Amino acid sequence: MGNAQAKSYTVKILSFLRRLLFPPRCRVCGGLLPWEASAVGVSHIKERCLAFYQEMAPVMCGACMRGTKVPEGGRCSICGVPIEGVSLDPPRCGVCMAPNRILEKVVSLFLYEGGPAHGVRSLKYHNKRALAPPMGRLLYGAIEEIGAVDLVVPVPLHLSRLRKRGFNQASLLCEVLEKKGYAVAHDLLLRRRNTDSQAGLSRKARLKNVQGAFEVKEKRLVKGRTILLVDDVLTTGSTLSACGRVLRSAGAESVSALAFARRDTGFLQSAYHKTAGWRAT
């Protein structure tokens, strides 16, 4: 047996013993994971949902991954908001037909329910950081829908919340993009005001909550560049719009956004855009 073969055999033995002594568990429910992570039983589903099962299988059990859905149906081709009765091809909502919109393009990978919602909540509120790398890889696979990107910027947390949580989930997601070669400015945006948590707030309250909450620390890094904002969840777009507004004011050529999941239960175009704040007025 050669040295290389012996080394490979040793690694396999050590890996087997590690799994035997410390069996992998689902980072959401704590249940034991199968010995061979796979996406068994999820054939004939949408490609992005299949990618979710494949990426998350080493850290989530099948039960916790159930209910994974992607945004579909009648949606604006720019911001992804559900719309009705639009005959344009590609479809656009009224606000996104305006030339002065803040966000050039908004892409959300999944709906905030089922597996994606379990993943986000476990990462964000239960410190299950092992979920971040596969989630980040899924985001990386969707960047081509945005187009060219000069700089990736995670949506920031206020310092007090960052200290309490110990990490910024958006920054963790961006670490994968950084390893893939994208320039990431983790501290470019500053959340200067400790806003109330957006969870549970109405659309109008969310927009008011983030007004004037962000600032750009180094404008020279922004001027003339194409910026991609990254966040875990998109609801009304108020946070992303507030970030986009200060980046555009600092001289960014354009700002787009990429979110792991989006909520849009009960959303219609008119109700959404009354408070989303997409325009750069």
- Pick 72-276's CATH classification: 3.30.2000, 3.20.20, 3.40.50, 1.25.10: 3.40.50
Comparing CA positions, the residue from 223, 227, 280, 279 lying closest to residue 258 is 227
Q: Where are the domains of the chain?
A: 72-276
- Pairing between β-strand 106-111 and β-strand 254-262 as defined by DSSP bridges: parallel
Comparing CA positions, the residue from 171, 173, 70, 86 lying closest to residue 96 is 86
Residue numbers of the chain with a pLDDT score lower than 70: 1-2, 4, 6-7, 9-22, 35-45, 86-87, 195-209, 265-281
What does the block give as tokens for 237?
């777009």
Q: pTM of the prediction?
A: 0.83
Compute the distance between CA of residue 66 and CA of residue 45 in angstroms, rounded to an integer.
12
Q: Which residues of 46-61 are buried (b: 16+ CB within 10 A; e: fewer)?
A: eebbebbbbbbbebbb
* Interacting residues of 6 by C-beta distance below 8 A, sequence separation 6+: none
**Can you give the pLDDT at residue 266?**
44
